[in-house]
Amino acid sequence: SATLRVHVSADERYRFFVDGHEVGRGPERGSDQIWFYETYDLSLEAGEHVFTALVWRLGEIGPLAQISLAGGWLLQAEAPFDALLSTGSAAWECRPVPGLIFTRPGPHAADGAWFVQPNQTTDGALYPWGIEHGNGDGWTPVRWRDEYAGFAYGLQPIHRLQPATLPAQEAAPRAC
């Protein structure tokens, strides 16, 4: 077995899976000057593993506190696994995920706070079950983007990455 450290982020949001099991979600909300990434230490047995990420960008219906600069997914593995796993060097693939529907709540109190978060509905008939394991058709090679933009005085990254400052988000069933 080996322990590998990966740093991940997305614009705007992600859920990260290894072999179909959720490892984490994020990124922590930042600003156009500070974009956060999370770090995960993965203990894996030798052999093949499937890394997947569900990434979405809400655009105009996103919460007012959500910033978006340029959509995408980033995974940077530390040596000796960097070339094997990192986006920009490894052979990542992507596909659309039908069945996830995001809608802005209405302006009435009963509809919820429209400025905080859109409503998510999952249409189980359309959702590609097993996608977290990399299953299904329609996967295509990703196009990677040079993250640097030219400015009069040199190159600056679009996303100025910083380590996350908050603890990992918790997702657990709760009794009502």
Which is nearest to 145 in space by CA: 60, 74, 64?
74
Q: What are phi and psi of 142, to 5 degrees?
A: -80, 155
C-beta of residue 134 within 8 angstroms of C-beta of residue 92 = no
Q: Is 109 a residue whose pLDDT tops 70?
A: no
Q: Is 11 a residue whose pLDDT tops 70?
A: yes
- Which pLDDT band holds residue 113 (cuts at 50, 70, 90)? low
Q: Is 111 a residue whose pLDDT tops 70?
A: no
pLDDT in tens, 45-86: 999 999 999 999 988 888 877 888 888 999 999 999 999 999
Which residues, 6 or more positions from 100, have their beta carbon under 8 angstroms from its beta carbon?
Answer: 56, 120, 121, 122, 127
Residue-level pLDDT at 112: 60
Cα separation, 135 vs 151, in Å, equals 42
Q: Is 132 a residue whose pLDDT tops 90?
A: yes
- Which pLDDT band holds residue 33 (cuts at 50, 70, 90)? confident
C-beta of residue 70 within 8 angstroms of C-beta of residue 26 = no
Q: Is 107 a residue whose pLDDT tops 80?
A: no
The mean pLDDT value for 5-15 works out to 95
Which residues, 6 or more positions from 40, have their beta carbon under 8 angstroms from its beta carbon?
Answer: 5, 6, 8, 16, 23, 24
pLDDT in tens, 150-165: 655 666 778 888 999 9
Which residues share a beta bridge with 25? 15
Q: Is 98 a residue whose pLDDT tops 90?
A: yes
Q: Is 144 a residue whose pLDDT tops 60?
A: yes
**Percent over 90 (pLDDT), the chain:** 60
Q: Is the pTM of this model over 0.85?
A: yes
